[in-house]
A = this chain, B = another copy of it.
Amino acid sequence: MSTADEIGTAAQLACLLEASAPKPGNVSPGRHFRDARYEDFLASAAAIGPALARAGERPLGATILAAVEATARWTRSNTNLGIVLLLAPLARAAALGGSGALRTEVAHVLAASTVDDARDAYAAIRLASPGGLGRAGAQDVADAPSVSLVDAMRLAANRDGIAREYATDFSTTFERGAPSLVRARADGLAWDDAVVETYLTLLAAAPDTHVARRAGEPRAAEVTRDARAVLAAGGVRTAAGRDAVAQFDRTLRDPHNLANPGTTADLTAAALFVVLLDGGWHSTHGDSDDRAR
């Protein structure tokens, strides 16, 4: 898979499968946030397709800005900034990639990023206005950047899970997210369950940086411990695990102790995109028993 249209479609489907799975603490069908409903995520997924389909034709920062501008025409919420930041280099790597593995190509795309890419990405972040990547003494998104996009991301890597992917050539996506998803599908889980399991696996592995910024690091650490306990109870694979998943969701939505692991949801979407770009829709899909007539 590598035509521009197919890359755009895969990016959209990654967003749609992520948004549609009932991930604890995040939006899914019938479970809305006050400032963002499920249908805002549908519109956002649809909106970014053309920009990501053209990721091979223009610089990384321009793709990020175009995708965020397209999203802003449909929703005022910040529904997908993190996803766009993650998917744009992957889409460019898929578009430019020759015979090399996707991760090798991503490393090339990141290494080639420029100050102009950083400037466009900062503009995108300001447009989506999520409060930036946290306050930074150097290379704050309110200022004009003086370093390349990947260097700016390295400065934020210790406090932001998206920036960390840039700084590590997408280590979480390639080494934890995508393998978890492939394993879950190989075990016969439907896409929604496979997505929830991958999300829990990522959340159990590292505190969500969006939760840490909004609710503090102790709360983020607590959420990670809870995710581990849910997986230990079986996660989506057992009845007891499903009860634990539902309880975890209620805990995260408690207005007095709110925690929205939004960065982990973004990382889940990146893992989905990698799996789809690798042909995982068909290779994990065609023979599963839910397709049998």
Q: How far is the CA of A13 from the CA of B42 in the complex (A)?
A: 7
CB-CB contacts of A16-28 with B at 8 A, as 1s and 0s?
A: 1100100000001
Q: Which of B12, B38, B292 contacts A20 (CB 8 A)?
A: B38
Q: Is the beta-carbon distance between B47 and A9 smaller than 8 angstroms?
A: yes
In the complex, the answer to whether A192 meets B49 with C-beta atoms within 8 Å is no
Cβ-defined contact, A5 with B39, below 8 A:
no
Instruction: Give this chain's copy count.
Output: 2
Is residue A259 contacting chain B, with contact meaning CB distance below 8 A? no
The interface on chain A, measured as residues whose beta carbon lies within 8 A of the other chain's beta carbons, has a size of: 39
Within the assembled complex, what's the spacing in Å between the Cα atoms of A70 and B9? Answer: 10
Check: A35 CB closer than 8 A to any chain B CB. yes
Interface residue A137 (Cβ < 8 Å from any Cβ of B): no
Tell me if A290 and B192 are in contact (CB < 8 A): no
Known contacts A39-B17, A74-B281; decide if A9 and B46 are in contact (CB<8 Å). yes
Whether the Cβ atoms of A29 and B32 lie closer than 8 Å is no
Residues 166-197 of A, flagged 1 when their CB comes within 8 A of B and 0 if not, give 00000000000000000000000011100000
With CB as the reference atom, state the residue of chain B lying closest to A46: B12
* A50 engages B9 (CB within 8 Å): yes
Instruction: Flag if B290 contacts A46 (CB, 8 Å).
Output: no
A103 beta carbon closer than 8 Å to chain B: no
Query: Is the Cβ of A13 less than 8 Å from the Cβ of B46?
Result: yes
Given contacts A39-B191, A43-B281, A49-B46, contact A20 B29 (CB under 8 A): yes
In this complex, what residue of B is CB-closest to A47? Answer: B9
Bound-state CA distance A273–B29 (Å) is 21
Q: Is A58 an interface residue (CB 8 A)?
A: no
Residues from chain B with a CB closer than 8 A to the CB of A292 are 34
Which residues in B have their C-beta under 8 angstroms from that of A28?
29
With a cutoff of 8 Å between Cβ atoms, the chain B residues found around residue A37 in the complex are 190-191, 290-291
Interface members, chain A 261-293 (any B CB < 8 Å): 281, 286, 290-293
Say yes or no: is A207 at the interface (Cβ < 8 Å to chain B).
no
B-side contacts of A73, CB under 8 Å: 6
Q: A223 on the interface (CB 8 Å rule)? A: no
9 of the cross-chain contacts (CB-CB < 8 Å) are: A5-B70, A8-B50, A9-B43, A12-B49, A16-B46, A20-B42, A29-B29, A39-B190, A39-B192
Known: A8-B49, A17-B42, A29-B30. 16 other contacts (CB 8 A): A5-B50, A8-B50, A13-B43, A16-B16, A16-B46, A20-B39, A20-B42, A32-B290, A35-B293, A37-B291, A39-B190, A39-B192, A45-B46, A46-B46, A46-B49, A49-B49
